[in-house]
Structure 1
Amino acid sequence: MNVKVLLFCLLPAAPVLAQGFAGLGTDAEGFAVPERGRALQFPRDHGAHPDYRIEWWYLTATLQDADGRDYGAQWTLFRSALAPGESEGWDSPQVWMGHAGLTTPDTHFSAERFARGGIGQADVAAAPFAARIDDWHMTSTAPDGADAYSALQIAARDADFGYDLRLEANGPLVLHGQDGYSVKSAAGQASYYYSQPFYSVTGTLDLPGGPVAVTGQGWLDREWSSQPLASDQTGWDWFSIVLEDGHRLMGFQLRGRQTFTAGTWITPQGQATALPDGALSFTPQGTAQVAGRDIPVRWQIDWPEQGLSLQTAPVNPQSWMDLTVSYWEGPIRVTGSHDGRGYLEMTGY
């Protein structure tokens, strides 16, 4: 779903933070809102959409070293608009935030960057594609004529960790919901949402003990909206899973007065089936004490119509992003009717 951890913490009106998680249920007056039936266009939609209030470029990777030890990496750039539209210099209403995470079985690292738009510190260009904040970057390395997201290089660095990863896609972009129009509540709040879930990844992690060469799989989510949540929705549980038989599953539940679920079942060839509210069920199976609170780190995911019954376990239960807006995000192992690996994000706990 990747309605991700959002930037409304940066907005000046503190009372809005009570309206949906991180203010994502606040009224979208003055901003553009997603419309059903609008066709996504590439490479244009790889870039920024300043008339919408919130947007993100979100990459997660499940990785292993030569000994089979598990790792996870996260690279995210968020854009939040104080007003619709764009202008130059300090008059720009765009605010940017970057998150980076790196998970080992023993340790979880997280870091954060902030920037104003219009002054050269952070931006996103659609063609040639490049996203950056300070020295963190996600840059297309695709050949001429190929989709910009078919090959990427990403890097981030903080005092205690860093990574430099190269990603090559072996499948197509996937549109979620109805041709990229992704509904998030019974009341009809929605976002535009698509993914590139077919990356093979190679690169290096920089850890306190030294560099570690890794390989694995990656998943990029792209989403933008102006009011993606209902005002009573207090958080979500979101999964991206790559199964050993080549199928992929994106699924989420939004918690509020009523739970709302949605998902996408993706074949190895990239054909997508949208899963409507109620098709998937998500049941906590075990908790851990994380940052002074009980977090449901083990889950059961069921899709009875498909005969899918998955159990997930974290690589590191302490995968807490202790940032301006805090949340749990880390790599998971998957067993049950299918085996696989994936990523889990949980907010609002």
Structure 2
Amino acid sequence: MRRRRMLQLLGAAGCLPLASLLPSRAALAAAPSFPPVRPRALAFPRDHGAHPDYRTEWWYATGWLETAEGPAGFQVTFFRSRTAHDPANPSRFAPHQLLFAHAALAWPGHGRLRHAQRAARVGDGDESTRFALEDTAVAVQGWSFSRDAATGRYAATVADQALALRLGLAPTQPLLLQGDRGFSRKGPRPEQASHYYSQPQLAVSGTVGFEGKSLPVRGRAWLDHEWSTAVLDEESVGWDWIGINLDDGGALMAFRIRGRDGAAVRWASARLRERDGRELSYGPDAVRFETLGTWRSPRTGTSYPVRSRLTLGQGTAALRFDIEPLIEDQELDARLSTGAVYWEGAVSLRHDGRTVGRGYLELVGYHRPMKL
């Protein structure tokens, strides 16, 4: 029912004919197999590009911006999803690959999140919806996110009635490979894994627009690129994740996968790059999120732990950070694209009472269990 409801919403949005999305029994019998994620050395620039054999993939840029009207948070995310349709079906309406895009702007003076979304299928002759294999270059109905091979600089372009973003994101540090050299475990079973790397401390410049005005901005961003086939098992409902650019030049990523009873943690991991470049990894027993405060959505009734304490390590050597939202209302309703409702917003990281970093927090599976 959940999958059918998502397909109905996509059809209602005019991006996918509903009949073409519902495969026949014969098509289901010929459904493709999705390769598992196995440990391997990532190779660049090829692994900056798309991996269409895998079920799910995203390029996820988030950050803090400084403007003449104060700080703001932004996110631009492009998703690729390979469907279970028969790959031999030659119909231009057969949605073998779907692309989705989200963009958001969190501005304290405006109270809540501004959000826009896109959804389309690949391969029906529309050149405005595409992805590339050799490097990052993905586009959905005119929105785009790409990487310049010569400079490593990313360019994000979003144009919508709700908001407009035109940003350049320039690398200042090496890539941060998550997990074991880019092989990131997500659960107790070996197949629950992704290939995952981050690009922290990106220098941002460009413009943001809304309500008929355009403002120049500068700031810092974080990019995640991740692809997988099986991340959540039947006992998992979602995750909490942070990506933080530390003020001293370091970087911190941490996540936990939550179980169905709401308290059990199925898996957890963190990676810390210190200011001198040294990297530390934390396994499932050394990562703990503790709720300090919740916010309840007036639209969906969902409660999210928007304030929390992150503990890395154990005993007297443990590191403790408090996570504080830029604004509380950063709920993202993506039921017209990916089908999910979740909280995804700008946060600051505090240690011993002072702010030590800024980045993004993602809270998934609190509204409904997430299905990937």
* Fold match by TM threshold 0.5: yes
> Within 2, Cα distance between the matches of 1:102 and 1:250?
21
Tell me if 1:285 matches 2:292: yes
Q: Report the structure number with the largest CA radius of gyration.
A: 2
> Within 1, Cα distance between the matches of 2:139 and 2:212?
27
Who is 2:328 aligned against? 317
Q: What RMSD, in angstroms, separates the aligned Cα atoms of the two structures?
A: 2.5
Could you tell me which of 222, 237, 240 is aligned with 1:237? 240
One-letter amino acid matched to 1:273? L
Q: 1:173 to 1:224 in 2, by over 3 A?
A: same
Moved more, 227-236 or 205-214: 205-214
- 1:272 is displaced (CA, Å) by 3.3
Who is 1:298 aligned against? 307
> Within 1, Cα distance between the matches of 2:323 and 2:189?
30
Who is 2:117 aligned against? 112
Moved more, 237-246 or 331-340: 331-340
Who is 1:75 aligned against? 76
Who is 1:332 aligned against? 347
One-letter amino acid matched to 2:132? A
Matches within 5 A, 1:151-190: 151-188=153-190, 189-190=192-193
> Any conservation in 2 of the 1:298–1:312 contact (CA below 8 Å)?
yes
Could you tell me which of 268, 272, 278 is aligned with 1:265? 272
> Within 1, Cα distance between the matches of 2:53 and 2:133?
16
> Within 2, Cα distance between the matches of 1:266 and 1:29?
39
> Within 2, Cα distance between the matches of 1:87 and 1:274?
44
- 1:288 is displaced (CA, Å) by 1.3
Structure 1 residue matching 2:286: 3-state secondary structure: coil
> Within 1, Cα distance between the matches of 2:88 and 2:248?
45
Superposition TM-score, scaled by structure 1 size: 0.85
One-letter amino acid matched to 1:229? L
Structure 2 residue matching 1:261: 3-state secondary structure: strand
Who is 1:247 aligned against? 250
One-letter amino acid matched to 1:288? W
Q: Which runs of 5+ in 1 are unaligned?
A: 1-5, 14-27
> Within 2, Cα distance between the matches of 1:86 and 1:178?
36
Could you tell me which of 336, 346, 349 is aligned with 2:363? 346
- 1:141 is displaced (CA, Å) by 3.4
- 1:209 is displaced (CA, Å) by 6.1
Structure 2 residue matching 1:278: 3-state secondary structure: helix
- Higher relative contact order (Cα pairs below 8 Å, separated by 6+ residues): 1
Structure 1 residue matching 2:146: 3-state secondary structure: strand
One-letter amino acid matched to 1:164? R
> Within 2, Cα distance between the matches of 1:284 and 1:81?
35
One-letter amino acid matched to 1:343? Y
- 1:251 is displaced (CA, Å) by 0.2
> Any conservation in 1 of the 2:136–2:146 contact (CA below 8 Å)?
yes
Percentage identity across paired residues of the two chains: 36
Q: 1:85 to 1:240 in 2, by over 3 A?
A: farther
Moved more, 134-143 or 269-278: 269-278
> Any conservation in 2 of the 1:86–1:92 contact (CA below 8 Å)?
no
Matches within 5 A, 1:83-232: 83=84, 89-91=92-94, 93-105=96-108, 106-119=111-124, 120-127=127-134, 129-143=136-150, 146=151, 150-188=152-190, 189-208=192-211, 210-232=213-235
- 1:275 is displaced (CA, Å) by 1.6
Who is 2:51 aligned against? 49
Who is 1:17 aligned against? none
Structure 2 residue matching 1:45: 3-state secondary structure: helix
1:65-90 per-position Cα deviation (integer Å, ceiling 9, x unaligned): 145x2211111111111148699754
Q: 1:273 to 1:126 in 2, by over 3 A?
A: farther
